[in-house]
Structure 1
Amino acid sequence: MAQAGASALTSHYRRLQGSWKVSSSTQYQRLVVPNGNASQPFHRWFHLKEAYSSQLLSQLMADSSYVPNENLAVFDPYSGSGTTLLSALDMATNHGIPAQVKGVERNPFLWELSRAKVYGRICGREAAKAFDVALDSVADAFHSSSRESLPIPDQSTLQNEAYFPRQNVRDLVAIRSSIDSCTDGEVRSLLRICLAAAVEGCGRLRRDGRALRFAPNRQPKDAWSSFSERAGAVLQDLLLTEPIESSGEVFFGDGREGVNETAVFDWIVFSPPYPNNIDYTEVYKTEAWMLGCYETPAEMRAQRQLTVRSHPSIRFNQDYAFLASDVSREVQSAIDPILESVPDDRYSSGRVELIKGYTDDMLLTLQKCRQNISPDGHLAFIVGNSAHGAGDDSFVIAADVLMGTLAELAGWRVEEVRVARQLSRRTSDNEFLRESVVLLRPA
């Protein structure tokens, strides 16, 4: 983008956030990443690189001078690995009150992960005995199974022996078959999560945030040993956790469609997919395939089409609800300068669709959340802005500013934008290239 165009877009973002309180918070820098989660019970069951810290929710409440009284109701429309819901359960327990937590997740693997964590955190040692007995049954079934008769998933990554040794894939499939044949219900989900957590270490691929990278020098772990290690950590967390008088539910569905319209929450906290080039269906595909979430490549493609329009990796539908809404003019005014900044090259159509699709999806999300917040409730979202293009043709999609603007159109008031950290990029030092926590209150 020419310098004049970049300056115009920056001025546009400044105008949009002009009436808001915008602050820098080094305290939140360590909270918008999964700092400390790897050592925390339940949170440690699976490392989701895109998660935020288990301490974020408590910090948000403390900074808002919020103290839960008789109960705590919390919702996350993009529950991911369940960080918000688990943190809410911990907060309520610390205050000696019950919690009601609800989440929605579209990715089938992450849905099972978050609901298994919530179940484990609520039931604690009451689930430990059943889990331990089931683990013994799975071990017996696995060691007596015939690996050669089990089909390898119809997925190119798992069939590539440079990525995953064939024996490891067969063993992982045998573990899944053993789990599915001799367990059911929530205990089955707990064991399946142990299996999913073992997958990456059994191959030579690593997640680096954007994609799966080949690590040819990595020595893959033994499948059963890796699964057993993960199961041991789960059992330990269950045994050391007292059951609590709280309830939790994670729905397999769409965060853009919200939850039961009669539900009312004290806090809604979420981190949507950022408007960048990351396709999370692709990043976590090996775990999903190993759990049998997809049987064919067509099923995985269908799943990708159902997700938030946050990346141009595939062609999404181009239906935009905001065009027919009563705020269409205001929405168009907010995104026109961004659209005008898109360089005219081979990526332009994909970027235009990304901007329009993401705007539409986030407006829907914020509108649905507004229906379910208590009159004195709080909403916080965590989002990172992203740079697209290169050199003079680069531009930034300031998702925090865009979503704040959409929130105002959906009946919210922007209380504060807390800039947690500036994001580095060699070709850009744009002031809006940042990751923020945005706090909203009902208008």
Structure 2
Amino acid sequence: MSAAEDLIRHYDALQSRWKVSDRIADYARLVVPTGNSVEAFHRWFHLKEAYSHQLLARLLKDADWVPDGQFAILDPFSGSGTTLVSALSISEEYAVIPRVLGIERNPFLREVGHAKAAGMQQGPTLARRVRAALPGLELLYQKAQETAWSTPSATLNNRKFFTAEHLQSILALRIAIEQIDNGAVVSLLRVCLAASVEAAGKLRRDGRALRHQPRWEPKHPKAVFDANVTRVLEDLDSRAESMSSRGAINVLGDARAAHLHAGRRKFDWIVFSPPYPNNIDYTEVYKTEAWALGLWDDPAAMRAQRLSTIRSHPSVRFPELYTYVQCPYADEVGALLDPLLNAIPDDRYRRGRLQIVKGYADDMLRVFDACRRVINANGRLAYVVGNSVHGTKEGSFVIAADLVLARIAELTGWKVEEIRVARKLSRRSFDSEHLRESVVILRPA
């Protein structure tokens, strides 16, 4: 039997352990950002990798779970804040007290989620503060335009991507915003600026990388920024004064240490979508926004950010350190990963792929262990993950992340309640029933 055939048998055996359901009709549009680009607050910054703002409500509905008194939810990969904003909306619908914690490793995305949650919670009060700051911001911007600002970002400095005029405008806006003496207003306006960067240049985020678009006609950053501010104010004004509340925070942290960020607090639901083991480096995908906001001082800081992320990509060479080899269930993890490791072709990409498989499993084992410590006895965890194909046609293999993560979760004290197949994926001529995107439901064992 070939290594590829052995891997398929391995996946089939794993899958037979659990209930696997075809839920494409229910979930296909929910595991992608359906509606987010037009929904209030969610639309402030469009994250192509997000799931729909409607997903959380569907998970609760399918579990027959109704918030009662308090709604405690954790998202250890909070991204642009979809779970946070959705949870606040649900808590208002059921008139319960929200307790929502988001954790995000990427400082730019953390700031986006933080601003959205603050907007939901402060509403018209924040709108008044923003309006009060705008005349002063305009003066600060005009003054900042008189100084030639610089950035260490090679991407922003590349004239194929951004003209000198547009780069100067972006940097002047950032300098002006940073001089405002109100943290919540500053954060919100920085998100408006970040949401202007793509339209102001010739780089498109396609979900996998940044692509040069030479035929694009960039818009002036200040014009896009002003339109973004108008949109944000519309959403803040749509909130009634009585809706303003507290209960959601978004912290810069590490999902592998979720229990440390949560402290002794227990959660009813943990919902997240981790980076998929598909070679996509999200530090790279959102680097232009991060550089525009001045979140890194030099390329070394950006590299350090990469090294701090989940090992789902080979953009940097991570240290060969795997904690699972010393854990009580090291043999079980080895048995889970060996068929996958054996199926990796012996070519120039082998080392990087070995690191992805072992590093990703190692990191996610720590995530599930951390989450297990902060879930209520009758709580649930739901994760969204996509499987991916690697290699050429002759040496292709699937990393079935939904199954691998389900088994890792079992080892850390979870019971797999159901694997809901949400979407079938395609890759040229490659076809496999394991090439899919799934929503996996766990309970504490």
Q: 1:304-346 deviations in whole A, cap 9, x for unaligned?
A: 1100000112111221111110011101100000000000000
Whole-Å separation in 2 of the counterparts to 1:152 and 1:434: 44
Which residue in the other structure is 1:282 paired with?
284
Greater shift in the superposed pair: 238-247 or 22-31: 238-247
Whole-Å separation in 1 of the counterparts to 2:358 and 2:340: 10
Tell me whether 1:257 sits opposite 2:239 in the alignment: no
Aligned residue identity for 1:162? K
Q: Is the 8 A contact 2:33 2:51 kept in 1?
A: yes
Residue 182 of structure 1: how far off its partner (Å): 2.3
Residue 295 of structure 1: how far off its partner (Å): 1.3
Root mean square deviation of aligned Cα = 1.0
Q: Is the 8 A contact 1:135 1:191 kept in 2?
A: no
Whole-Å separation in 2 of the counterparts to 1:337 and 1:315: 23
Residue 223 of structure 1: how far off its partner (Å): 1.2
Which residue in the other structure is 1:303 paired with?
305
Q: Which runs of 5+ in 2 are unaligned?
A: none
Residue 229 of structure 1: how far off its partner (Å): 0.4
Aligned residue identity for 1:142? Y
Pairing of 1:165-204 with structure 2 (within 5 A)? 165-204=163-202
Whole-Å separation in 2 of the counterparts to 1:77 and 1:185: 24
Residue 136 of structure 1: how far off its partner (Å): 2.2
Whole-Å separation in 2 of the counterparts to 1:257 and 1:125: 35
Which residue in the other structure is 1:248 paired with?
248
Aligned residue identity for 2:290? A
Whole-Å separation in 1 of the counterparts to 2:277 and 2:202: 28
Tell me whether 1:33 sits opposite 2:28 in the alignment: no
Aligned residue identity for 1:156? A
Whole-Å separation in 2 of the counterparts to 1:146 and 1:53: 39
DSSP 3-state at the match of 2:277? coil
DSSP 3-state at the match of 1:375? strand
Which residue in the other structure is 2:379 paired with?
377
Pairing of 1:10-29 with structure 2 (within 5 A)? 10-25=8-23, 26-29=25-28
Alignment TM-score, normalising by the size of structure 2: 0.97
Residue 4 of structure 1: how far off its partner (Å): 3.1
Which residue in the other structure is 1:152 paired with?
150
Whole-Å separation in 2 of the counterparts to 1:313 and 1:223: 30
Q: 1:364-403 deviations in whole A, cap 9, x for unaligned?
A: 0000000000000010000000100011200000000000
Aligned residue identity for 2:282? Y
DSSP 3-state at the match of 2:159? coil
Which residue in the other structure is 2:420 paired with?
418
DSSP 3-state at the match of 1:182? coil
Whole-Å separation in 2 of the counterparts to 1:317 and 1:156: 26
DSSP 3-state at the match of 1:269? strand
Whole-Å separation in 2 of the counterparts to 1:136 and 1:416: 54
Pairing of 1:41-120 with structure 2 (within 5 A)? 41-120=40-119
Q: Is the 8 A contact 1:376 1:441 kept in 2?
A: yes
Q: Which runs of 5+ in 1 are unaligned?
A: none
Moved over 6 A (4+): none
Q: How many residue pairs end up in the alignment?
A: 440
Which residue in the other structure is 1:225 paired with?
223
Q: 1:123-176 deviations in whole A, cap 9, x for unaligned?
A: 1112110011122221121123334x2322111111111100110000010000
Whole-Å separation in 1 of the counterparts to 2:306 and 2:337: 25
